[in-house]
Amino acid sequence: MNVIISGGGTGGHIYPAIAIANELKRVDPTVNILFVGAEGKMEMEKVPRAGYRIEGLPVVGIKRELTLDNLAFPFKLGRSLMRARQIVRDFRPDVAVGVGGYASGPTLLAAALQGVPILIQEQNSYAGLTNKVLSRWAKRICVAYPGMEAFFAPEKIRVTGNPVRSDIQLADSQTEAGRAQFGLNPAQPAVLVIGGSQGARTINESIEAGLVRFAEAGIQVVWQTGAGFIDRARAAVQQAGIANVKPYDFIYEMDRAYAVADVVVSRAGALSVSELCLVGRPAILVPFPQASEDHQTKNAMALVDHEAALLVADSVARTTLVDQVINLLADKQKKQTLSDHIKSFGKPQAARDIVDEIFKLISVSKEV
């Protein structure tokens, strides 16, 4: 059995794709998997590190502002379509899976035009442009949120959730290991601050402004800043003489980081939201306002509307975020409510459910 998985550009696309691949291999170790990504994007490094082969396409996105780079778009798209068609011919996939991102467009279109059944995995509560265009050819569309009939044909939709790494689901067993790793005092509350792998400037500056207040309140902070802010964060912590704030440029052991958190501050990307739902931690979400179609705000509101998370707008975070964190930590009942409600959105079997849909498509295709 041959399976193409295409897409990427961000961790929110790449890591669910790898989780799907891992589950395919777990169910059927003989399956052949080929990833197709965009040249120069992070999937070209992350996918081989996960043990899978990847081919790159020269495809790029259209920039919102008028630039000379946009003039190259149709030419790179044409080259990508030709390259994708050749990849599909050579690999002869039984199914093609798209997870969103630049490369999934030409790859899934090439597959569909050659009669290969395609499956789309949409991570967000607001469908991306590529997936909306591709949906007309898709046999199945796996989504993470209800109400996606606004974008896709209802008969194609399966609500599976977003697949996440298996270690995240075991976070509750890592509390002691996490406290030891991050040097935390179990008698004091702890906040985990994450802004994605690259960090989030607004969140970082908000935490920086509240360092003294966290210290005065006896609150510990595990702070993932991203590489671009780490030196500034370390200097601020050192200058303030604060020992209870632990800045890191990147945290690899996210299961341990979630395990020690009484409250989590995060952007509202699809992957982050899915992880929070699985670990069931009270969350304050600060959506990135420049995300396409403002989808992070929509992701956050899907939880906020069910009292499963709090939202702080990026525009006011520098003046209100720290207050919200301190107030939430002091409100035991609110924390419990948020935790209970966000857990109801968790889909621990997401990868397995998506793989089941993949096998169904292959079975129907072979019968035909």
Indicate if 361 and 217 belong to the same structural domain: no
High-pLDDT (> 70) share of the chain, % = 95
pLDDT for residue 368 is more than 90: no
Same-domain pairing of 150 and 42: yes
**Binding positions:** 10-12, 124, 165, 197, 251, 270-275, 296
- Range from 48-62, 225-239, 299-313 carrying the lowest mean pLDDT: 48-62
- The pair of three-digit structure tokens given for residue 57, joined into one six-digit string: 């396409």
Cα 127 from Cα 143, distance rounded (Å):
9
Cα–Cα distance for residue pair 45/38, rounded to 1 Å: 11
Q: Is the pLDDT of residue 125 over 80?
A: yes
Regarding whether 334 and 187 lie in a shared domain, the answer is yes
**Same domain assignment for residues 188 and 141:** no
**CATH number of the domain that residue 70 is part of:** 3.40.50.2000
Regarding whether 361 and 333 lie in a shared domain, the answer is no
Question: Distance between CA atoms of 295 and 213, rounded to whole angstroms?
Answer: 32
Please say whether the beta carbons of 54 and 34 come within 8 A: yes
pLDDT of 258-303, one tens digit each? 999 999 999 999 889 999 999 999 999 999 998 878 889 999 999 9
Q: What is the reported pLDDT for 151?
A: 95
Is there a single domain that holds both residue 132 and residue 269? no
**What's the number of domains the chain is made of?**
2
Same domain, residue pair 150 and 222: no
Question: What mean pLDDT do residues 219-240 have?
Answer: 94
Q: Verify that 181 and 240 share a domain, yes or no.
A: yes
Q: What number is the average pLDDT over the span 230-253?
A: 93
Q: Which residues are annotated as a binding site for UDP-N-acetyl-alpha-D-glucosamine?
A: 10-12, 124, 165, 197, 251, 270-275, 296
Asked whether the whole model's pTM tops 0.75, one would answer: yes
pLDDT band at 106 (very low <50, low <70, confident <90, very high): very high
Q: What angle do CA 293, 296, 299 make, to 5 degrees?
A: 110
Q: What is the side-by-side strand order in the sheet with 95-98?
A: 53-57, 32-38, 2-6, 95-98, 118-122, 140-143, 157-159
Q: State which residues form the domain around 224.
A: 166-343
Please write the tens of the pLDDT for every residue from 20-33: 999 999 999 999 99
Same domain, 72 and 152: yes
